[in-house]
Structure 1
Amino acid sequence: MSKLPNSIMLGISAAIGLLMTTASIAAPDKIVKIDGSSTVFPITEAVAEDFQKAMKGAVKVTVGISGTGGGFKKFCRGEIDIVDASRPILEKEMADCKAAGIQYVEMPVAFDALTVVVNPKNNWSNVITVAELKKMWEPAAQGKITRWNQVNPAWPDEPIKLYGPGADSGTFDYFTEAIVGKAKSSRGDFTASEDDNVLVQGVASDKNGLGFFGFAYYIENQKKLKAVAIDAGKGPVLPSTKTVEDGTYQPLSRPIFIYVNIKSAEKPEVREFVEFYMKNADALVKEVKFFSLPAQAYTSNLEHLSKKKVGTVFGGKPGVGLRIEEVLKREASL
């Protein structure tokens, strides 16, 4: 067999080297795995995109949306490095993580206004009281409260079509705790999805639809949805930067989080990602239409990571009705 000329051999070697380099860039061996809340997803996804650009392809960040509950299941099995959570970790999840030897740093990253929405053609329920929402969503309503006028006699004799997050959603947990009085306590005959975009489309295409999800999804789709003012006893309040920051949008203002596996944080790529997250959170949180925290909150998160201050300040409860300053005061005591 004749030997190839040296120039061709060099060319082949160079090409193989280029392919290997390209493959290395396309499929980096450094991966940060994240899953969980669809509410927190837009923030973490924005951070992930900017971080990957900054790392020039050396680190891949995957972000899933299996819901807060689904994310914690994976997190407590050690399958992911970080979980996005639209409510604090609950008692059972704390127990599952403890049993698996998973320790975590709790990091509030923003505030959200859980938003109740209706179709723009709905001209009767611009304001809904907490009691009316409870009447719609409590377990006893299943098969019984099926028309608008059954909730409020001034409303039309039209069928109610309800849309909400699925049972693995932290938004579902928080809403049911805040409105019904017990997490996961809800009627079951509604259209459920862990993907908020499915809920958006459901309400947008149904005159009699009502649903709830994070504020960012409402803002992104406000041309085809209408936010409802919530009356918790002190008059109707719409979700906005002002009403979240001054604490008047209650009880549907809530902190949202990431939880970082302390062992995962020993990997340089995970630690660098979390540091990038906290240093850029203020701008990126606002960019995707959430409400950012004071700068000290993000600094404290990194201090807790550095000092390995693990655990939660919420005692396994959803933490309903807290103002921003109350959340930060709790975290400072960790």
Structure 2
Amino acid sequence: MCTSGMKDTAKILSTLLVSLTLVAMGSSCGSAEESLRGTVSLDGSSTVFPISEAIAEEFNAVKPRVRVTVGVSGTGGGFKKFLAGEIDINDASRPIKGSEYAEAKASGQKFIELPVAFDGLSVVVNKNNTWVDKLNVAELQKIWQPGSSVEKWSDIRAGWPNEPIRLYGPGTDSGTFDYFTETINGKSGASRPDYTANEDDNALVRGISGDQYALGYFGFAYYAANQSVLKIVPIDGGNGPVEPTQTTINNGTYSPLSRPIFIYVRETSLDRPEAAEFVDFYIENAGLVAAEVGYIPLPDSTYQRAKERVANRVTGSAYIEGPENIQDNLIDP
């Protein structure tokens, strides 16, 4: 009886010990998983915002103690905060400007330039617009150039309605504004001022969708998410009208309004584990998330090289310094 009781007690103690060990292991794994904490801050482009916001949400699901904030102040506004040391990452729908690069260099700030997806800047009209079938670059310039005399649709093309054209577009801090004005009007920032400007692309969608005589432009993802209330305008860049799609943006036939979009990472931010892990997570998931929100993923090999660029702390901009001065130029400038 005594021996049997001792054996039973031994079994109970053994089982209890195993249980406690498993609990301890689980607790240890949980604490290791949750030990990463801190804040990572992003700001900048409304075009890149849907990608960054979605990635921040996914990251928070696996690293709940890291707070990731994603603001929208336009590419230029984001670079101002980035260069002032206020944020870790700037979302940018254009490459860094020479003046911004010079400011960073003068203050000794180093950054890593990472393309994250392709975008096709999209020209859109109201869903009930029945007359616009396409526009060419010359007509876009006629509409948007400084000093434009276009006030009615009939001023663009004979036979179009003798009705006022109401224009919508991004504000002057937007990288989309910079890219569009440089591509269409030949100089970054060159634009007629009498249009409804907003850094929030969703506000532009609401304006155009509520006005039959409206025309505007923004990133492809905002058209893709609002096709039921907007009509896309095919653009003739010299080889016939082409509509922006994932295929035409990716293969470059949607020209001249296809472009890469970026994040710029402060090198010193990577010294913080939470920021370094977030950047790795961003690159790992950028392609999948870009496709989900309406943009076009880069080749897998480009994302792999982006990881290596971060790991090796390859700083600078191929768009300013030239690809020969960047260890691994991810996309041809």
Q: Which category of TM-score, normalised to the shorter sequence, fits these structures?
A: 0.7 to 0.9
- State the match for 1:84 in structure 2: 91
- State the match for 1:182 in structure 2: 187
- State the match for 2:330 in structure 1: 331
Larger deviation, residues 170-179 vs 305-314: 305-314
| 1:116 aligned residue (114, 123, 132) | 123
| 1:40 aligned residue (48, 52, 61) | 48
Contact 1:94-1:316 within 8 A present in 2 as well? no
Indicate whether 1:101 and 2:108 are aligned.
Answer: yes
Alignment CA distance shift 1:307-1:78 (3 Å) = same
| 1:66 aligned residue (65, 73, 77) | 73
Between structure 1 and structure 2, the one with the greater Rg is 2
- State the match for 2:285 in structure 1: 280
Tell me the TM-score normalised to structure 1 length.
Answer: 0.85
Indicate whether 1:139 and 2:146 are aligned.
Answer: yes
CA RMSD of aligned residues (A): 1.7
Tell me the TM-score normalised to structure 2 length.
Answer: 0.85
| 1:158 aligned residue (159, 163, 168) | 163
Contact 1:166-1:192 within 8 A present in 2 as well? yes
Tell me, which stretches of 5 or more residues in structure 2 are unaligned?
1-33, 323-327
Larger deviation, residues 96-105 vs 228-237: 96-105
Return the alpha-carbon distance in structure 2 between the equivalents of residues 29 and 190 of structure 1.
Answer: 44
Contact 2:178-2:188 within 8 A present in 1 as well? yes
Tell me, which stretches of 5 or more residues in structure 1 are unaligned?
1-24, 318-328
- State the match for 1:322 in structure 2: none
Alignment CA distance shift 1:128-1:279 (3 Å) = same
Indicate whether 1:201 and 2:192 are aligned.
Answer: no
Identical pairs, percent: 52
Return the alpha-carbon distance in structure 2 between the equivalents of residues 186 and 84 of structure 1.
Answer: 23
Larger deviation, residues 205-214 vs 275-284: 275-284
| 2:134 aligned residue (127, 135, 138) | 127
Look up the SS of the partner of 1:197 in the other structure: helix
Return the alpha-carbon distance in structure 2 between the equivalents of residues 185 and 94 of structure 1.
Answer: 21
The aligned amino acid for 1:139 is: P
Alignment CA distance shift 1:166-1:111 (3 Å) = same
- Cα deviation, 1:50-103, whole Å, max 9, x if unaligned, reads 001111x21000000000000000001111000000000001111121222211
Return the alpha-carbon distance in structure 2 between the equivalents of residues 330 and 160 of structure 1.
Answer: 42
Please identify runs of 4+ aligned residues in structure 1 that moved more than 4 A.
Answer: none
Larger deviation, residues 80-89 vs 276-285: 276-285
